[in-house]
Structure formats: structure tokens, C-alpha cells
Amino acid sequence: MSTTGTTDRGAADPRDGRETAGRLLRAATRSGAHLISEAAALIGGSAVLADPIAGAVYSTPATAASDGVHAAAHPQEHPRHVLRPAAGAVLVLAPAPTAPAEHTALVAATAAALLEVRGQRAAELRAEQMALHTTLLRLLLAGHTTAVTDALGAEGLTHVTVYRLSGRDVPTAHQVLWRAARPSLLAARAVARTLMGRLEGELVVAELHHGCDDGRILRLVSRVSERHQLLAGLAGPLPLAEMATAHADAAAARYSATPAHRVVPADAVGATQLARLLPAAPYARWAGSVLAPLPLALRHLLMVWLRAGSTPRAAAALGLSAGTVRARLRDLGEVLDADLADVTVQAHLLLALRAPTRGEDREESRKPTAGGRGAAAVPSGPARLEALPGGILDTDVARAWAAGLVGGLEPHLRIALACWLRHRAKAAPAATELHVHRTTLAIWLTQCAERLGRNLTDATVRAELHLALEITATDGANDPRALPRRGGRTYRRL
């Protein structure tokens, strides 16, 4: 936030400390912005309150914001600036050349002290405000959208973007993000409102807006995640009525976050490159036939389960017990007539859930063929998840994609990866079938991740790799019995 000066009075007499303190005190009773503006007027220069996460909180004049933030980060490059720590931020003053050093020091010390007082007063109210935010978040998740928008006075805000952050330093990160975002429930005609609170040990941030956000909260979440070593998932924008869906999607996306990519959007999880290469019409027909028996709620449960990679994680993301998720998955297996524990079934399910559903794809699928028969007709017999019908993966484009992904793996790495994936990413049974030590398998999997440039802890990446290995498999190429061996139980690169 930036402000312009509110005072045209020149600098006070440097010998009149009481007048200087009085002017700063009167400004501080109004707002932090007025305090910074008065400090700038008193030194005849600029004043900036720079936060390490949010950047310039207040700046007078507005054009001094970037210079003030840089001075706070690199004080040695700005010897004429006066810096004082204040309320978790840094007060940066750039006095006019004629301003006495003693007067500038007095303004800096007084303004910093008043900012500390304002910060302590805000901290006293913060606990109650945070509790209110948490309550509003719970109401949104329970579907009480109108009650929340009425309480916020934000009837025009129609969409929400949700962030879910986890890590050891969540309490501290909550305080830091609160100070940086400065969420307000009282702003009139705001273009966006931010709610944040801790739910079940994680930090949840919901930004309510008019359909798209300006990226400010995303930038703050990214900086906080990096500084406090958190992992975050984001979902949205979605309509406010779909807050619960966004909440679950953000949790599923968070399980794909890594120290290298700390904030992962939900639409980047499971949105495989392969799905965009498949022929739209037969792909959409097959997916529609497979998923036809499932209502949207169960499709969502399947997607979260496939993204999360395990039942406990899916249960945490959905807010259900692990037993409930297992029971629903058993029912889903019966409805789909498929073994959901099979890695091929899981990979095909992920493809089905990511199939195009746009109107143009449906229209294309209805076009008649040369023989006069509608292309929308489902292939003879019920669609199966164990094997895809012809014309979907058995194409030159799909084979080229698979070869580009896994074609460069050495034989022993390919066999080890295929075996590990068949055992649902469990090292012990895979190592037993390969007749190698688990440490050896772990080394090989690390080498696979490096060669492929992929995160093997991501369940959707594993599904992609399984499909690629199946597409490119020749006779016995993935068979553990074909593992190159040398020296008994010692396996070396040939």
C-alpha cells in the first residue's frame, strides 16, 4: 500500500523536539499511513515502511516505495538512508540534504516507537480477529456462503481462490502473513477480501474476489512459503458455492509440492501432457462411458484419491475418515467393475477424469462417419478400465510421447522403475521381486528421477510413467527376469 503526503508543512525546528513528537503522535492516532506521511514531511524527504514479505506497506511519496524496499534489504548501498526496525518491518527514511542529522534521528526513533505501539495494539486484537476469520472459513466450507458475504458486506464477490499451507512453522507463518496481507473485514466496496485461519494444523487462506485475483496474495503466500519452509497447494478461482471443492483440490495439490516448487496449483496436478495429445472424440467417448455410473461427488473423491496417492492423504484432503474413504472406494470398485488397487486401472482412471468435456468435443463426437453411422456410438461391449479401446493410446503421437519420456532409460533403470510402479510405489515388494537390496532400488529410483527430470513422489507423475513404460514395452522389456546382472547379487551398469 502506498500513500502520498498529507502535510505541506515544512520540517519543524530541530530544536523543538516536543513539536516533532506531537505531530508524529497525532498522525499515529489516525493511521500508520498518516504516521509515515508525517515523518516524510518532517524530514523533507521520503519515508517507507518496508516489510520483508509484503514489500512497501506505506510509502510517502509512492514513488519511493521500491527505493525504500531495496534500502531495507541492502542498507550498505544506501548510506544516506536512516533505518530503524519497527513492528516486524523496517522504517526507511531518506532525509533532504538540508535536514539536520539530529532531527532525522529524532523523527526515526519517535516514528519507530509509535509504530511499535500500533503493532502491539494490533496484536492485542489479532487473536480475536483470527478466531473470527477461522469461524468464517468454517461457515464457507459448510456452505453458508450468503451468511459469510453478508457478514463481510461483500455481496458482489462471487469467486474464491483457496490456499492450504502446511509445515512445522505454520503458527509463525500465520502471524507473518497476517501482518503482510493485513486482512480487513471492514473495507467498503473492496475488490477482494482475504480470510485466513488455522484448521486442523494447517494454514488456510481464502481470497474472495470478482472472478479473478490480482496475484497479490499468491505473491505473499509464495514468499512466506519460501521463508518458513512450507508446502502449499492452491485451487481456484471457483464460484463461492464450490468452496468445499476448492478446499479439497488445494489439499490434493499440496501433496505434489516440493522444496523446489513450494506452491502447486490444482490445475497443474493430473493435467497430464498425454491427455492433451489423445484424439478428442474416441477419448471423450470412452471416458464418458466409463464414468457414466458415477455422480460428480464420487468422481471428485476419485480425483482427490488419485492425486493424493494414498487413502490417508485423500481422507485428510476430503475431511473424511480413512475408513469412510476406503468404504467408498470399495463401492466404486464394484460400480466400475475394476480393481482400483491396480496401477494400470489407476492410470486409466486419471486419464478418464481428465478427458475433454467441452461442447465442441461432444459435437465432434456426434459427426457421422463415412459409413453413415454416428461416431458417438460407444465401441461394442462395455468400456473397461483394464484396457483402453483402439485409437486412444495406440497412435504414433502417443508412442512418440512415451519414447520421449522414458526411451532414454537404461535397461536396469527401466525394469526397476516398472516393477516399483507395479507395486504401487512400495519399495519392499519391488526389491524382493527384483532380488536386490532396497538401498540399491532407492539409488536406482533416484537415478530415474534425475534422468527423467520428474518428481516420483507425485502420484500423477507415476501414472504417466507407468503408461509410457507400457506403451514402449517390447517383449519382456519390463520383466524383472531380464534385469542385467553381473557378479551374483551385485548389479552393475553394463
Q: Domain holding 237: CATH number?
A: 3.30.70.600
Residue 377 domain-assigned (yes or no): no
Whether 358 has a pLDDT exceeding 70, the answer reads no
Model confidence band, residue 379 (pLDDT cutoffs 50, 70, 90): very low
Same domain, 45 and 157: no
Same domain, 156 and 252: yes
Q: What is the pLDDT of residues 283-330, one digit of tens each?
A: 888 888 888 888 877 888 888 888 777 888 888 777 788 899 999 999
Residue 236 domain-assigned (yes or no): yes
Out of 87, 122, 157, a domain closes at: 122
Model confidence band, residue 404 (pLDDT cutoffs 50, 70, 90): confident
Same domain, 218 and 288: no
Cβ atoms of residues 457 and 393 within 8 Å:
no
Same domain, 106 and 187: no
Out of 324, 342, 365, a domain closes at: 365
Which stretches of 153-292 are assigned E, i.e. beta strand? 159-166, 193-199, 202-209, 231-239, 263-265
Give 384-391 contacts, CB < 8 A, sequence gap 24+.
384/290, 384/337, 384/338, 385/290, 385/336, 385/338, 385/345, 385/348, 385/349, 385/352, 386/338, 386/342, 386/344, 386/345, 386/348, 388/286, 388/348, 388/351, 389/282, 389/286, 391/279, 391/282
Report d(CA 263, CA 235) in Å as an integer.
11
Strand ranges across the sheet with 159-166? 193-199, 202-209, 159-166, 231-239, 263-265
Bridge partners of 232, per DSSP, are 165, 263
What pLDDT does residue 487 have?
A: 55
Q: What is the pLDDT of residues 440-474, one digit of tens each?
A: 999 999 999 888 887 787 777 888 888 889 888 88
Same domain, 147 and 234: yes
Closest listed residue to residue 245, CA positions, set 357, 177, 310, 159: 159
Domain count along the chain: 4
What pLDDT does residue 491 have?
A: 53
What pLDDT does residue 420 have?
A: 93
Report d(CA 363, CA 437) in Å as an integer.
54
Least confident residue range of 111-115, 148-152, 215-219, 337-341: 148-152
Residue 8 domain-assigned (yes or no): no
Whether 6 has a pLDDT exceeding 50, the answer reads no
Residue 386 domain-assigned (yes or no): no
User: What residue numbers bound the domain in which 470 lies?
Assistant: 396-482
Out of 200, 233, 263, a domain closes at: 263
Q: What is the pLDDT of residues 228-279, one digit of tens each?
A: 999 999 987 888 888 887 888 888 788 778 888 889 887 655 445 677 788 8
Same domain, 256 and 279: no
Q: What is the pLDDT of residues 346-355, one digit of tens each?
A: 888 888 887 7
Same domain, 253 and 156: yes
